[in-house]
Amino acid sequence: MMPSHASERGTEAAPRTEGRAERRAERAERRAEQRTHADYTGGVYGSMLAASVIVGAGSLGQFPRLELVLLLVLTGGVFWIAHVHAQLFGARLTRQAWDRRVVMRVCRDEWPIVKAAVPPAVAVAVSPLLGLDVQGALWFGLSVAVAGQVGWAATAARRAGAAWRQVALSAAVNLLLGMVIIGFKLWLKK
């Protein structure tokens, strides 16, 4: 009688294991599809936003590095909230119902705006370790923001299946836009 129970358990365990494996495969497939269809324009936008914040932060108070780090992260957060609101409000206007899953998807899709603000903020935060003064920290943060902008643009183009020539063109256009922002910083400094 023992062997029959063992064989029954064995047959019961196999379907459960197969079900788990199928669910894991489905989750992996969904994650791969999300990566394939990911929209990195928020990262490009967020990097440009961070660069603009650095350029506009000409005169900061008593703790300029800390204030700039907070300004970068908080501005990224506010713009993220604004984009999530705009996406959800736009969906509502088109009579599309949304639930928790839709809200979470929109929040996740717009998250690159915040992610793009982090590297320039980190650059400013670690600038004293590199022996940079406040102006050096601003330039370092601005350089990191422009590099991020170019990187996000190239990643977006590549993930969209663009040919290498189009990836290079996208990166070049975003580098040019970054140079325009740097030009504004130089012009404002005069």
pLDDT tens for 104-127 read: 988 998 998 899 999 999 999 999
Which one has a higher pLDDT value, 38 or 120?
120
Using the structure block, give the residue that is written with the tokens 């979470």.
104
Calculate the CA 6 to chain-centre distance: 51
Predicted local confidence at residue 89, as pLDDT: 82
Best CA proximity match to 46, nearest among 162, 187, 156, 172 = 156
Residue 171 pLDDT > 90, yes or no? yes
24-35 pLDDT, tens digit each? 777 766 665 555
Q: Which residues contact 167 (CB under 8 A, 6 or more apart)?
A: 154, 157, 158
Mean pLDDT of the chain: 81
Which one, of 60, 82, 84, 83, lies nearest residue 71 by Cα? 60
Q: Are 120 and 144 in contact (CB under 8 A)?
A: yes
Averaged pLDDT, 164-174? 94
Which tokens is 153 given? Answer: 């643009």
Return the C-alpha torsion angle 52, 53, 55, 58, nearest 10.
160
**What predicted TM-score, i.e. pTM, was given to this entire model?**
0.70
Please write the tens of the pLDDT for every residue from 44-55: 778 888 888 887
The pLDDT assigned to 42 comes to 76
41 Cβ partners below 8 Å, 6+ apart?
Answer: 112, 156
* Chain Cα centroid distance, residue 10: 46
- pLDDT tens-digit readout, 60-110: 667 788 888 988 998 999 889 888 888 888 766 677 777 888 889 889 989
DSSP 38: -
Torsion of CA 141, 144, 149, 153, to 10 degrees: -170
